[in-house]
Structure 1
Amino acid sequence: MQKTFFNKLATKTAGKSLTAIAAVLLTHSSLVSAAAASELASTAVAASKTDNVNVSYQIKHLEPSSWWVDMKSPALQLLVHGDNISELTPQIKADKVVIKQINKVANPNYLFVDVIIREGTKPHRFNIDFLQDNEVVISHPYQLKARNKTSAADISFSAKDVIYLVTPDRFANGNPNNDQVPQLLERKNRTAPGGRHGGDLQGIINHLNYIEDMGYTQIWLNPVVENNQQEYSYHGYSATDFYQIDARFGDNALYKKLATEAQKRGIGLIIDVVLNHSGSGHWWHNDLPTEDWYNNQGKVYVGTNHKREALHDPYAVNADKQLFSDGWFVPTMPDLNQRNSYLANYLIQNTLWWIEYANLSGIRVDTYSYPDKAFLTQWTKRVTDEYPNINIVGEEWSTNPAIVAYWQKGANTHDGYQSYLPSVMDFPMQDLLVKALTNKESWNTGLNQLYQVLANDFLYAAPEDLVIFPDNHDMSRIFTQLNEDYELFKIAMTYLMTTRGIPQVFYGTEILMANPGTTNHGVIRTDFPGGWQGDDVSGFTGKGLTSTQKKAQEFMRKLMNWRKNTPTIHHGELRHYAPESGVYVYFRYDELNKYMVVINKNASEVTLAMEKYSELLGKAKSLIPVLNNKPIAIQENMLMPAKTATIFQVR
């Protein structure tokens, strides 16, 4: 019977693809068992080789792979990739889901399908059929899901939070079985500073209690999407699949689980988005949709000049501006051309997809100023239109506050540029914080440099929304920058936890991780001790830590938990007195509470004449050091210990 049936099948499907043959088999499932269907499919392949049956049609990628109902924008653009897929015509027969337009490009292996999801559409599954000569050749399943009942993006991150920056490969190895994955190129090599060490998402999940106990309320992970590069793939900034978690970290479901488990502890998850470039191992790299998908496509490697000033320089030539935006970082990071509308839509939808899929609390954007400026406006507006309360922080690595301030929403820009970016990384503060603590005191150096940071806040539309930090994954550890001076470390961290802005702390800062004698990024991002089975030292349990490391960890735990429960520090007013003789004093206050912070950088104790601060002290009678709660009566002159930053509650 099978042979008779197959003869009829071969006649009916002559000239059709193997997928079409499979579709016919499925329609005759009552006649053919699953085992027989498998046998017949194999026979069909053999027949196609002799009967010239077209077997070229196959969907290799359809992205995004799913979407949601009740999104504020009804529009969805599907990227469809497969050999000669443009020869087929997509069709959707589903409730209130219609194809608005089918877009073909020069490469026949791509279609961009514009879909409208009409109001009132319910969550459901349906097929996207691909037709040739009015017959279904491929039938691809698709799902519209219900949105999250409560969105973490509605709360997002703000000055109420302390962000914990984690490089996943270097934090904790929770699942040794995924250290090496057959289909991914780079293998584990924990001895190599730039190699993969095996940290993963399960390792972070396993230590959420530690993160919560320390007082962190948000986690920012360096990118965890697939980076299938030959080498140096651990950092995550060379995406080879924007929709898949790297299998050495786990999978999409585990990423979602991390977000869920963190939220149970009051901790949000921030995604690190890369809009500027992909990796050279990306699946589209050797089969690009259009001739302008990359900048400088098809040319000898053209590197960026990194001259971010060129975008603002009134004397800059266009060539410098273009080279900054269109040049590649390195040969393995192709620069994406966001002026291509299909790529722009792709990047926007990818961001929205991850926010909704994993219920994320916010976004950090890598190398923010490098992509096309008009696209950045489009991207930030689309994201904030969909999630009005979400916070997005952009990385503009400049120590010039005028350049950093340009990108924040509400800025009074010199060229009328309109941004929708809520927050920017405060690199000027990081730079001057270190200089303030390591330079000698003079009329314009030392603590005066820290004073100058806040004096420049008139440049920002919302300085309270800036993300402030002692260091990050791309620079030397703060303990190293401060010449491993523990007292200066405590001053720096006290300042960051009490001044304006949203503090971010790099993993291991709390145990004084350092990189003496080198600026190698692999060493800066060294493994958190205790994250691997067999580690002799553990930052999680305290095993093997030095006494100074233990003191630092306990200091940070007290400081951050105090901050977490002190709204005045989150949103209160800030006033400061100009530094004098190595002493810097500032206040945070609201209608309920007032705090006074005294930084004495000197190597000896100093006497404060309290009358100087009467404008803000008012009729207060006592000062209570918040980390030991022993009230001190305010006197005419008060001694402040050497090399300290002391937080007082004013009573």
Structure 2
Amino acid sequence: MYKTCTKTLVFPLLALFLSCQAFFAGAVTISRVEPSSWWVGMKNKTLQVMVYGPNIAKSVPTCKYPGVTLKEVARTDNPNYLFIYVEIAANTKPGTVAIRFTQGNQSQTYNYQLKARTDKSGALGFNTSDVLYLITPDRFANGNPANDNWDGVNVDRSNPDARHGGDLSGVSKNLDFIKDLGFTTVWFNPVQENKMPRGSYHGYAITDFYKIDPRFGSNEEFRDLTKTMHAKGLKVVMDMIFNHCGLAHPWMTDKPAKDWINNPDIYVQTNHAKLTAMDPYAAKKERDILLDGWFVPDMPDLNQRNRHLATYLIQNSIWWIEYARIDGIRQDTHPYPDYAFMARWCKEVMVEYPNFNIVGEVWYGKPGEVAWWQHGSALNKNNSYLKTVMDFPLTFTAEKAFEKTGNERGSEASGMYQLYEVIAQDFLYENPNNILTFLDNHDTGRFNRKDDDNLDRFKQAFAFLLTTRGIPQIYYGTEILMVGAKSEGDGQIRKDYPGGWEGDKSNAFTPDGRTEKQNEAFNYLRRLLQWRKTNEAVTTGKLIHYAPHESNVYVYARVKGNKTVLVMLNASGRDQALDMDRFTDVTANFTGGRDVITGKQITPDQGKVTVPARGQYILELN
């Protein structure tokens, strides 16, 4: 019976399949078009459209639309991809461009939308007047539990490496909290789709560059969020990754070209030897492994030397700027992709949006190594066009600089001197103002520690961060003393914000939900952040500092016009009476100053000001 039934069913089905295959053999099928839409009036008149479908490369595309010219039709070794390059004249009107794909006697028309650039908000960039609040969206707040689970990957808050359910809605519901704290800008860890088997909560294994991960929300929700943030006076920075994609990206099952991915046939781990990017003596093999090796087996390394992929990635970032009107981009692993491509990307974005800002993750331990990557650097004969770099040397120094060193008299080994020494090397930078400063982020151990018995270290560090040069960034949860060591795993430095989930035992978004110590830290940071907004000397003024070679007290001033802020950081374990005669070139005719934290008036006593042990003054001179 079983065999008879099998024969009875199989032959008619096979005949039907073959007849259908013959019928559709000449059909033109389009499965995907990227970008799905574009805008008229862009400075770069050339648009690449990537078309995907079975044997689409065998078709011939044509279009007739006033102002739109078909420049090139490019095919690769994969017949399922077609790259169309069109030129859009400056006077082109928005509308629907009918692109006709003809293959033999079959054809298909795709209606491509050219939109008007009606939204002029955003794209403002960020600068020294801003303070960035870095959020890992999966761990901040869950505003919509309905989108928690997707495609078999479920929320599990007991697992520090699983999805926890935070989303864009959770951020939206806490915007007033962020603004009231004093932040001007929110930097989101990646929010694009990460459809990976294990969840990829961090966002760095992208599987769709043009789509917000549905567990965070939709493209429309992200665009609405940026509009709301702009209306509240907040800016938006979007994390992007050009070095790699996620292993589950559709490209990995059907590559657009053989050279789309570096080392596609055998796994080669990157050596992380970032110095080879600038080392004049580096062996080619060493540099190739840095650039072409994979970060991890789940993140294939993209080959930006493929001209179609390079244009695809550049257009993708421009698409997000224009679509959501974001204000800035933080580029992950900046030294790892092809250098010429990254320079081209930075340049093209900045030409299109002159006020925009890009900060690159250039993870190096010395100022000269970081400075090499900055736009216009005298150290680098090939301009990177990267406007802002990340001050990892300052981060690593600050981690220890505010410790109880026991060094009462100070020396070149003291924490304050080492901090001073990093700042003193700003002569290496083309523009010391375009440096992102931070004490920690989503990849480092948290600055706050479990064994901090008081807030001395916290207060000194943030007094410094928010008054020195550069653009400060603060990691979410720092204001409530969240802790986590890198050695404990990344999930421990990206914990859930208490109160962000319904049913949480405490709600740190409210004063009643915070401990006394947390409220002390929160209020201290809030006072500093809100004050910083009002003081031009700190945000745009000149920095003048003094070597802390005698007392382990670091003294510096921020000066603009007739406004001067004097900062005094005493890292020693005893009160220090400082002779103010040393600082007359910044104190000039000022007779005293108001401490911005306590409101107390500080006046020299017999020419001296005493700074408390492990204490600080931030004085607005008067």
Do both share a fold (TM > 0.5)? Answer: yes
How big is each residue's C-alpha offset from its partner over 1:286-307, in whole Å with a ceiling of 9 and x where there is no partner?
10011110111212x1000000
Deviations 1:378-408 (A, max 9, x none): 1111111111121110001111111111110
C-alpha RMSD of the superposition: 1.7
Structure 1, residues 42-92: CA drift from partner, whole Å, max 9, x if none? xxx989528644276321211000001100011001111111111111122
Partner of 1:622: 592
TM (norm. structure 2) is: 0.94
Q: Within the alignment, does 1:235 sit opposite 2:202 as a pair?
A: yes
2:218 aligned residue: 251
Aligned to 1:269: 236
Q: CA deviation at 1:624?
A: 0.8
Residue from 433, 438, 443 that aligns with 1:464: 433
On the 8 A contact 1:262/1:269 being kept in 2, the answer is yes
Q: Give the equivalent residue in structure 1 for 2:45.
A: 74
- Equivalent residues of 2:486, 2:492 under 8 A apart: no
Task: Kindly indicate whether residue 556 of structure 2 is the aligned counterpart of residue 586 of structure 1.
Answer: yes
Match of 2:465 among 496, 514, 524: 496
Cα distance in 2, alignment partners of residues 272 and 50 from structure 1: 44
Q: Which runs of 5+ in 1 are unaligned?
A: 1-44
Partner residue in 2 for 1:417 = 382
Query: Where does residue 246 of structure 2 map in the other structure?
Result: 279
Q: Which amino acid aligns with 2:146?
A: N
2:144 counterpart (175, 190, 200)? 175
Using the TM superposition, give the Cα deviation of residue 474 of structure 1 relative to its aligned residue in structure 2, in angstroms: 0.4
Residues 137 and 189 in structure 2, CA contact (< 8 A), matched pair in contact too: yes
The answer (yes or no) to whether the contact 1:434–1:482 under 8 Å persists in 2 is no
Taking structure 1 as reference, are residues 129 and 550 closer, same or farther at Cα in structure 2, changes over 3 Å only?
Answer: same
Match of 1:428 among 393, 402, 408: 393
SS of the residue 1:121 aligns to:
coil
Aligned residue for 1:12? none
Structure 2 residue matching 1:76: 3-state secondary structure: strand
Distance in 2 of aligned mates of 1:468 and 1:112: 41
- Tell me which of 543, 552, 562 is aligned to 2:531: 562
Relative to structure 1, the CA distance from residue 553 to residue 423 in structure 2 (aligned partners, 3 Å threshold; closer, same or farther) is same
Deviation of 1:498 (Å): 0.1
Partner secondary structure for residue 537 of structure 1: coil
Alignment pair present for 1:388 and 2:357: no
Verify: 1:632 aligned to 2:610, yes or no.
no
AA aligned to 1:456 is Q
Matched ranges for 1:127-166 at <5 A: 127-133=98-104, 135=106, 137-153=107-123, 155-166=124-135
Partner in structure 1 of residue 478 of structure 2: 509
Question: Post-superposition shift, 1:352?
Answer: 0.2
Question: Cα–Cα, structure 1 residues 517 and 323, in superposed 2: closer, same or farther, change >3 Å?
Answer: closer
Q: What pairs up with 1:310-459 in 2 under 5 angstroms?
A: 310-414=276-380, 416-438=381-403, 439-441=405-407, 442-445=410-413, 446-459=415-428
Is the 1:56–1:83 Cα contact (8 Å) retained in structure 2?
no
| Contact 1:363–1:391 (CA under 8 A) maintained in structure 2 | yes
TM-fit CA distance, 1:98: 2.1
Q: Specify the code of the residue in structure 1 equivalent to 2:93.
A: K
| CA distance, structure 1, for counterparts of residue 450 and residue 488 of structure 2 | 11
Deviates more, 1:432-441 or 1:69-78: 432-441
Q: Aligned partners of 2:63, 2:41: CA distance in 1, in Å?
A: 19
Question: What's the secondary structure of 1:281's corresponding residue?
Answer: coil
What are the superposed Cα offsets for residues 606-636 of structure 1, whole Å, 9 maximum, x if unpaired? 2111112112111111211112333233331
Distance 1:388 1:517, change over 3 A: closer
Cα deviation for residue 120 of structure 1 reads: 0.5
For 2:259 and 2:246, how far apart are their aligned partners in 1?
16
Partner of 1:479: helix, strand, or coil?
coil
| Counterpart for residue 61 of structure 1 | 32
1:568 deviation in Å? Answer: 1.4
Among 237, 240, 263, the residue aligned to 1:296: 263
State the secondary structure of the residue aligned to 2:590. Answer: coil
Deviations 1:112-149 (Å, cap 9, x if unpaired)? 000111120111123222112365x2222211111144
Q: Which residues in structure 2 correspond to 1:472-483 (within 5 Å)? A: 472-480=441-449, 483=452
1:104 corresponds to which residue? 75
| TM-superposition CA deviations, 1:268-301 (whole Å, max 9, x none) | 11111101000000011110011110111212x1
SS at match of 1:353: helix
Q: Report the Cα distance in structure 2 between the residues aligned to 1:481 and 1:311, rounded to whole angstroms.
A: 38
**Matched residue type, 1:342:** H
Query: Secondary structure of 1:292's match?
Result: coil
Q: CA deviation at 1:481?
A: 8.9
Aligned residue identity for 1:523: Q
Question: Hey, what does 1:572 align to over in structure 2?
Answer: 541
| Residues 597 and 330 of structure 1, relative CA distance in 2, 3 Å threshold | same
Moved more, 578-587 or 190-199: 578-587
- Native 8 Å contact 2:184 2:234 kept in 1: yes
Q: Corresponding residue for 2:11?
A: none
Alpha-carbon distance between aligned partners in 1 of 2:157 and 2:358, rounded to the nearest angstrom: 33
Partner SS, residue 33 of structure 2: strand
1:601 has 2:571 as partner:
yes
SS at match of 1:535: coil
2:151 corresponds to 1:196: no
Q: Which amino acid aligns with 2:311?
A: N
Contact kept in structure 2, 1:400 and 1:428, CA below 8 Å = yes
Which secondary structure state, in structure 1, belongs to the residue aligned with residue 203 of structure 2? coil
Alignment-mate amino acid for residue 78 of structure 2: N
Would the aligned equivalents of 2:62 and 2:70 in 1 still touch at CA under 8 Å? yes
Identity of aligned residues (%): 44
Question: Using a 3 Å threshold, how does the CA distance of structure 1 residues 111 and 648 change in structure 2: closer, same or farther?
Answer: same
Q: Is the 8 A contact 1:623 1:634 kept in 2?
A: no
TM superposition shift of 1:187: 1.7
Match of 1:186 in 2: 153
Q: What letter corresponds to residue 619 of structure 1 in structure 2?
A: N
Q: Is the 8 A contact 1:148 1:359 kept in 2?
A: no
> How far, CA to CA, are the matches of 2:233 and 2:158 in structure 1?
36
Specify the alignment match of 1:210 in structure 2.
177
CA deviations over 1:200-223 (Å, ceiling 9, x no partner)? 001000100001000110010000
Q: How many angstroms apart in 2 are the aligned matches of 1:543 and 1:141?
A: 55
Structure 1 residue 638: Cα displacement:
2.1
**Equivalent-residue separation in structure 1 for 2:22 and 2:322 (angstroms):** 47
- Corresponding residue number in structure 2 for 1:34: none
Opposite residue 129 of structure 1, the aligned amino acid is R
Amino acid at match of 1:283: P
Q: Corresponding residue for 2:8?
A: none
Letter in 1 for 2:583: Y
Which residue matches 2:86? Answer: 115
Q: Deviations over 1:208-265 (max 9, x none)?
A: 0001000110010000000011115100000000000000000000000110111011
Higher alpha-carbon deviation: 46-55 or 513-522: 46-55
Task: From the superposition, tell whether residues 649 and 328 of structure 1 become closer, same or farther in structure 2 (CA, over 3 Å).
Answer: same
Which secondary structure does the structure 1 equivalent of 2:514 belong to?
Answer: coil
Check the 8 A contact 1:434/1:481 in 2, yes or no: no
Aligned residues: 601
- Tell me the TM-score normalized by structure 1: 0.90
| Partners of 1:517 and 1:91 in 2: CA distance | 55
Distance 2:240 2:546 in 1: 39
In structure 2, relative to structure 1, the CA distance for the partners of 1:98 and 1:440 (3 Å cut) is farther
Question: CA deviation digits over 1:463-511, x for unaligned, max 9?
Answer: 1110000100001111029856521111001100000000000000011
